[in-house]
Amino acid sequence: MSQTGGALPVPTRILLSVHHTLTTYWWLGLLILAALLAGWRAFVRSDEGRIAWDRFRLHLPAYGRVQRHGYYAQFSRTLGTLVENGIPLLRSLDLVGEIAGNRFLETKMAEVRRAVVDGATLPAALSAQQLFPHLFTDMMAVGEQTGHFAETMQTIADVYERELDRTMTFIATILPIAIIVVIAVLVGAVVWSILSAVFEMTHSLQFRPH
């Protein structure tokens, strides 16, 4: 291009800049990545960091929905089974909190248990923590009022297990498409940056004064 007197197109300059940065400063990128990883591991090892990270995971797109619906189903199924087998409610709440596998949910369930000890109903305590959707707590309240708490919890578990299956099916369908689209965009950007340089060079040669 320097011989033809033309300038490289913007896409080509961007591609060359990215290539130069990656080949020249790759070691710096590795150092930054290692530092970020070490900082993240130190953060999640602390109680506050672990709680914040587990709360963040619950609100991630798609993944967070899977986590929430999985816990709704697990909570309902386990609590219903425990109560049905004569385990006291407070002890049952301890157990469902322990199996959450999420420090944020564990702390919230501890607060729910304290509210129940202070005299609140379980649906009211869960609603106050905003852990579960209104449909969940409304169905639980109906089961509690009608004397069919254990059966209602099993029904709720069935509902959210079906929701979880639908979500997983959707993710399994859309994820490969999203990956293909991203790859196509990246490949297209590289091809366009190369072709734009070729077109610019051809144009410069055609209109170069003799």
Q: Do 114 and 67 fall into the same domain?
A: yes
**pLDDT reported for residue 161:** 93
Q: What is the mean pLDDT of residues 16-28?
A: 80
Whether 205 maps to a domain, the answer reads no
Residues 45 and 92 in one domain: no
69/37 same-domain check = no
If you average pLDDT over residues 26-39, what whole number do you get?
87
At position 191, the amino acid (one-letter code) is V
Q: Are residues 146 and 73 part of one domain? A: yes
Total number of residues shown for the chain = 210
Give the count of beta carbons closer than 10 Å to the beta carbon of residue 198: 11
Which pLDDT belongs to residue 201? 67
Please answer whether residues 143 and 153 qualify as being in contact, where contact means their C-beta atoms are separated by less than 8 angstroms. yes
CA 84 – CA 22 distance, rounded (Å): 61
- Residue 165 has a pLDDT of 92
Helix (H, G, I), strand (E, B) or coil at 171: helix
**Domain assignment of residue 198, yes or no:** no
- Residue that the structure tokens 């689209």 belong to: 181
Selection from 141, 88, 136 nearest residue 113 by Cα: 88
Whole-angstrom distance, CA of residue 98 vs CA of residue 138: 24
pLDDT band of residue 44 (cuts 50, 70, 90) is confident
Do residues 90 and 109 lie in contact, with contact meaning Cβ atoms separated by under 8 Å?
A: no
Structural domain including 47 reads 19-54
Q: What span, in angstroms and rounded, lies between the C-alpha atoms of 122 and 141?
A: 8
Residues 113 and 136 in one domain: yes
Q: Please state the domain count of the chain.
A: 2
Q: State mean pLDDT over 179-188.
A: 90
Whether residue 164 contacts residue 69, with contact meaning beta carbons closer than 8 Å, is answered with yes
In this structure, what token pair is assigned to residue 174? Answer: 């859309």
Among 23-37, 70-84, 171-185, the minimum mean pLDDT is found in 23-37
Is 48 in the same domain as 64? no
CATH number at residue 153: 1.20.81.30
Tell me: pLDDT of 119 over 80: yes
DSSP state at residue 60: S
Q: How far apart are the first and last CA of the chain?
A: 17
- Tell me what pLDDT residue 2 has: 47
Instruction: Tell me, yes or no, whether 13 lies in a domain.
Output: no
Q: Are residues 97 and 141 in the same domain?
A: yes
Q: For residue 26, give the amino acid letter.
A: W
Q: In angstroms, rounded to a whole number, what is the distance separating the alpha carbons of residues 134 and 126? A: 10
Query: Are 67 and 26 contained in the same domain?
Result: no
Is 44 part of a structural domain of the chain? yes
With cut-offs at 50, 70 and 90, classify the pLDDT of residue 209.
low
pLDDT band (50, 70, 90) for residue 56: very high
Round the average pLDDT of the chain to a whole number and report it: 85
Q: Indicate whether 39 and 98 sit together in one domain.
A: no
Q: Are residues 29 and 82 in the same domain?
A: no
On whether the CB atoms of residues 5 and 201 are closer than 8 A, the answer is no
pLDDT over 70 at 97, yes or no: yes
| Tokens encoding 39 | 């900082």
Examine the domain organization and report whether 109 and 32 are in the same domain: no
Residues whose CB is less than 8 angstroms from the CB of residue 133 and which lie 6 or more positions away in sequence, other chains included: 72
Q: Is residue 80 part of a domain?
A: yes
pLDDT confidence tier of residue 205, bands split at 50, 70 and 90: low
Q: Is residue 119 part of a domain?
A: yes
pLDDT for 51 equals 92
155 and 97 share one domain: yes
